[in-house]
Amino acid sequence: MKACVPLILAMLCGLAWAGEMGSCASRCNEKFNRDADSQCDHLCLWPWDCCEDYEYQCAAEEDANDPEPFLELEEEMEEAPASNLYSAPNSCRGRCHESFDKHHPCHCNARCPEFGNCCKDFQSQCAHESFSRSSDAITKEELQAISEKIYRADTNKAQKQDIILNSQNSIAPSETGDQVEHCPEPLFTYVNEKLFSKPTYAAFINLLNNYQRATGHGEHFSAQQLAEQDTFLREVMKTAVMKELYSFLHHQNRYSSEQEFINDLKNMWFGLYSRSNDEGDSSGFEHVFSGEVKKGKVTGFHNWIRFYMQEKEGLVDYYSYIYDGPWESYPDVLAMQFNWDGYYKEVGSAFIGSSPEFEFALYSLCFIARPGKTCQLSLGGHPLAIQTYSWDKSTYGNGKKYIATAYVVSSTR
């Protein structure tokens, strides 16, 4: 019933807004209009410059059309689900919770009953899932509330005096492919490395040298490296950040116990799959936090600690930035261009000054709540959006998907 009230209000308000420049009526997916006070294209998800009735007027249409994200298109092209991934695309077998794919003749996600495009066996295959129906979905308001709680709980984040950034020169989005170095100095002028002695930081850093960055080379973990994964999970679960996340997901009936949650985190983040020809050459953790190189391009690499350490070793050359977030303290967000030991990253977004558990929590939250979609959060009163993609070519457990990528979405306007 609670979901009906905002919808009714939005419908009533929509009638009043229609025909005005502040309304999205008949304006969904229009091109950016500099003369308009507010926008109605999917880019307005950040920095929250949509018309007030954007969600009512356009959200359902955009879900049905599955709009392309506007950051890191090279990742989407490599990781988006292909049309032939399922041998039986007319069935929901092994497909419950999957993100919308316009190539599929029928669907198995939480909203397919609403759009009337579920596969015939949706009920028999997915009825046992506790959140298969759209009425059980986590709302945007709930996501914004829990993200604010996680933001406040991040006591291990950097303080203002712990990091001195030298962002230097910004460039226009159209210039990101030029591979021109606009910033002669490093991005990080100073980092208080005492941060790195905190248990979650130390456990996180221990994981970064466990991977080969080139796809096509299988990862083979030693007993010690596997133990380091468990140590990281154990340490982050001690924090208030992850306790807030688990409490929220438990309340949402996503996990019945903390151990079930930890086991799922280990699979979705550290489970190996193949991005190239070698079995088990990649994982969500490697891609997002450590970074990879595929077809001569940097993919993933969305972590400030990794960036700082590689820059300190002379392996990262900071080129420029196209977006600097509105936060006056840490964590902040920066979308930047850089060269990683001979390979270029055209647009890479990253939190700056956040604790490892903070990033891990928000990316996990969005992957669980909005897999393959834009996930709208709120941090310190400022909007933030995270995009995730699932790896659909292999699964674990009962058809669950690995994390392919997760990153902060920043508008390229």
- Compute how many other C-beta atoms are within 10 angstroms of the C-beta atom of residue 150: 23
Catalytic residue among 42, 345, 373, 401: 345
Q: What is the mean pLDDT of residues 20-37?
A: 62
Under the banding of pLDDT at 50, 70 and 90, the label for residue 128 is low
pLDDT of residue 300: 95
| pLDDT for 157 | 98
* Residue 246: strand, helix, or coil: helix
The answer to whether residue 295 is catalytic is: no
Q: So what's the pLDDT on residue 107?
A: 84
Answer whether residue 177 shows pLDDT above 50. Answer: yes
Question: Which band of pLDDT confidence, cut at 50, 70 and 90, is reported for residue 103?
Answer: confident
129 or 180: whose pLDDT is higher?
180
Of the pLDDT bands very low, low, confident and very high (cuts 50, 70, 90), residue 174 is: confident
How far is residue 186 from each of residues 169, 170, 322, measured CA to CA in Å?
12, 14, 16
| Predicted confidence (pLDDT) per residue in 52-95, tens digit | 554 445 543 433 333 333 344 334 434 433 322 223 468 887 77
pLDDT value, residue 12:
43
Active site residue 302: yes
Mean residue pLDDT of the chain comes to 81
> Is 198 an active-site residue?
no
Would you say residue 35 has pLDDT above 70? no
Q: Where are the domains of the chain?
A: 4-65, 140-409
The residues, ordered by sequence, that sit 6+ positions from 53 with a Cβ below 8 Å of its Cβ are 10, 13, 14, 17, 23, 24, 25
- Catalytic site residue from 104, 157, 294, 302: 302
Q: Cis link prior to 184 (omega < 30° from 0)?
A: no
User: Which band of pLDDT confidence, cut at 50, 70 and 90, is reported for residue 288?
Assistant: very high
Give 217-254 pLDDT, tens digit per residue. Answer: 888 899 999 999 999 999 999 999 999 999 999 999 99
Q: Is 250 helix (H, G, I), strand (E, B) or coil?
A: helix
Q: Residue 122's pLDDT is what?
A: 82
Q: Read off φ and ψ for residue 54, nearest 5 degrees.
A: -55, -50
Higher pLDDT, 14 or 388: 388
Residue 29 confidence (pLDDT): 65
* Residue bearing tokens 């712990």: 162
Who contacts 342 (Cβ-Cβ below 8 Å, separation ≥6)?
Answer: none
| Greatest extent of the chain over all pairs of C-alpha atoms, in Å | 64
Report in angstroms the alpha-carbon separations of 151 from 187, 245, 269, 331.
24, 11, 21, 9
Closest CA to 81 of 411, 404, 412: 404
Q: Active site residue: 287, 294, 373, 401, which one?
A: 287
Position 62 scores a pLDDT of: 38
Judge whether residue 4 has pLDDT over 80: no
The pLDDT, as a whole number, for residue 112 is 77
21 or 302: whose pLDDT is higher?
302
Q: Is the pLDDT of residue 30 over 90?
A: no
